[in-house]
Amino acid sequence: MKNTFPKYELNMDTVERNLLKQLVRIRSKPLSIDIETTRVKDFKDLSDVISNVIVVWDSVLPNKKWVFVQEEALHLENVLPMSELRPHLIEWFKRGRVLGGQNILGFDFPVMMNDKSLNVKDVLQAFIDTRQIVDTSKYITDRYGFRVSLKYMAGGSLGDEKLMDGANAPIEWENGNYQEVVDYCIKDTILWSEIHQFGVDKGYVNIGGPKLAVDW
C-alpha cells in the first residue's frame, strides 16, 4: 500500500490566536531528536545503517521524552516500538513543531529516511521543505566554515559532558547494554536542547575557547 503524506499548509485565516501564540513560543524550543545506530562502515554511504534507538526530547511540556527502540529492547521501561515513530512525527508536524539536533541533516535524517521499515521519509522531507528544522552543526558550518561537535559545545557552554563516545554506542548495543545506549541517547537530546536554548538566550555558544555568535 502506497503511503502518501500531503504537504501541510499553515492557513493564517484559520489558525486560532492562542495557537499562533503557542507556535511562536515553541518555535524557539524545538523538539530535540537524536539516534543511535548500528555500526557505520562508511559515512558517505548510510544505506545499510539502521537506528537502534531514536529519542525525541521536549523541553516545553516540560521534560517529556519519547524513546523508540528496536524489538530486542522493548522489554525496557518507558519505550515505544519503532512503528510508533511515524504517527508521532505526523502529529508534531501538524502542530508546527520544529525538530532540532546536531548534524541531523547530515546523519540522523538520512539514516531514518533510508530505512524503509520506519516509513518516515515523506514526513521528514515535509519538515525539511517547510523549514521546521534546526541543525546546529549545519548552522555553524555554513556560518563559520568548520564543524563543532556536541561534546565541545556542551563542555564550553554548559560545563557538561556526554555519557560515552558515540562510536561505542553500536558496540554497547551489540553487547546487549540497551539501557546504557538509551540513557546516552537521552542525555544527548537534553544536552542539545540546553545548548540550543543557551544560544537563544546568550546569542552565542562557547566551544571551550572562542565564543561563536549564533541567532538560530
**pLDDT digit string, tens, across residues 155-166:** 999 999 888 888
Produce one character per residue of 153-170: b if its CB has 16 or more CB atoms within 10 Å, e if not: bbbbbeeeeeebebeebb
What pLDDT sits at residue 113? 97
**pLDDT class of 10 with cuts at 50, 70, 90:** very low
Tens digit of each residue's pLDDT (9 = 90 or more) over 126-155: 999 999 999 999 999 999 999 999 999 999
Q: Name the residue with cell 522489554.
A: 75
User: In this structure, is residue 147 part of a structural domain?
Assistant: no
User: Tell me, what's the pLDDT at 110?
Assistant: 97
- 196 in Cβ contact with 158 (< 8 Å): no
Mean of pLDDT over the chain? 89
Residue 77 to residue 74: CA distance in whole angstroms: 8
Q: Is residue 16 domain-resident?
A: no
Q: Which pLDDT value is given to residue 140? A: 96
How many structural domains compose the chain? 1
Place of cell 552565542: 204
Domain extent for 36: 27-136+164-202
Cα 199 to Cα 115, 149, 193: the distances in Å are 32, 15, 10
Q: Tell whether 59 is covered by a domain.
A: yes
Instruction: Give me the CATH number covering residue 177.
Output: 3.30.420
pLDDT of residue 208: 86
The pLDDT confidence band at residue 1, using thresholds 50, 70 and 90, is very low
Is residue 142 domain-resident?
no
Q: Residue 60: phi, psi to the nearest 5? A: -85, -35
DSSP code of residue 80 = E
3-state secondary structure (DSSP) of residue 138: helix
Whether 209 maps to a domain, the answer reads no
Kindly tell me if the per-residue pLDDT of 11 is higher than 90.
no
Q: Using CA atoms, how far apart are residues 109 and 103, in angstroms rounded to an integer?
A: 9
16-23 mean pLDDT: 54
**What is the reported pLDDT for 61?**
80
Let me know if residue 102 belongs to a domain. Answer: yes
CB 147, CB 135: distance < 8 Å: no
In angstroms, rounded to a whole number, what is the distance separating the alpha carbons of residues 106 and 47?
13
Secondary structure letter of residue 209 according to DSSP: S
Burial class (CB in 10 A: 0-12, 13-18, 19+), 7: exposed
Does 181 fall in a domain?
yes
Q: 24-38, 49-63, 87-101, 135-149 — which is least confidently predicted?
A: 24-38
Instruction: Choose the weakest-confidence range: 9-13, 73-77, 191-195.
Output: 9-13
Check residue 146 and report its DSSP letter.
S
Minimum mean pLDDT range among 24-28, 97-101, 194-198? 24-28
Domain contains 108? yes
pLDDT of residue 118: 97
Spatial separation of the C-alpha atoms in residues 216 and 212, rounded to whole Å: 12
